[in-house]
Amino acid sequence: MRAVIFVNGLVNDYQLLARWLRPDDLLIGADGGTLHCLALGRQPDVVVGDLDSLDPALIAQLRAQGVQIERHSPVKDQTDLELAIDCAHRHAADEVLLLGALGGRLDQMLANVLILARQDWPFPILIGEGEQIAQVLRGGEMLDVQAPIGSVLSVIPLSECVTGITYTGLEYPLKNVTLPFGSTRGVSNVVQSLPAKIEVAEGLLLVIQTRLQ
């Protein structure tokens, strides 16, 4: 089961946002991200967080409609998003998609992206933004690029160094290359042929690709 978590970032196009959803998704509102879910005409299954971004009347209405409300103290060690991911785990999700995770405050946006790099999540976590999707590739993994020919694809090291990076099907090839943290060498590549793949020997690599239509 896939869980979709609505995060309290900026959404510029709700039509694009709606295209990410499937009928059988478990929908989780991370506090104010609940408003994005409602804006799409969908009702969340669960709302999680300290709920300081939601009107009490709306919370009461959602509860009356059967939505599960998980209210946490505002004095906490986790962001509302992290609490929502934990919730997805308890509901036996095997994949998590974050929507509305970007834009707004820089600190929160960076935290939302970097949360993908945590090693102990038992499922893949992806960020959907417009027509792009972001995910983390870990050492020993290979990613089949789900993007049409001509799409822009970027990789950004998230660990001190990422070794053994090898591309297949990209315009600017890499073979067994090491990229240090902070390197921009992997930004703005292009899908040249299919199947396209990215392999990593060690480290954490953020991969951002255009979504397959």
Question: Rounded distance, CA 144 to CA 142, Å?
Answer: 7
pLDDT, one tens digit for every residue, the chain (213 residues): 999 999 999 998 999 999 999 999 999 999 999 999 999 999 999 999 999 999 999 999 999 999 999 999 988 888 999 999 999 999 999 999 999 998 878 998 898 899 988 877 889 999 998 888 999 999 999 999 988 999 999 999 999 999 999 999 999 999 999 999 999 999 999 999 999 999 999 999 999 998 655
CA angle 22, 28, 33 (to 5 degrees): 105
Q: List Cβ neighbours of 183 (8 Å cut-off, separation of 6 or more).
A: 157
How many angstroms separate the CA atoms of 10 and 77, rounded? Answer: 24
Contact predicate 192/171, CB 8 Å: yes
Question: In the chain, what are the domains?
Answer: 2-130 (3.40.50.10240), 135-210 (3.40.50.10240)
CA–CA distance, 144 with 147 (Å, rounded to integer): 9
For CA atoms 8, 14, 20, 24, the dihedral sign is: positive
- For β-strands 125-129 and 95-99, DSSP reports them as parallel
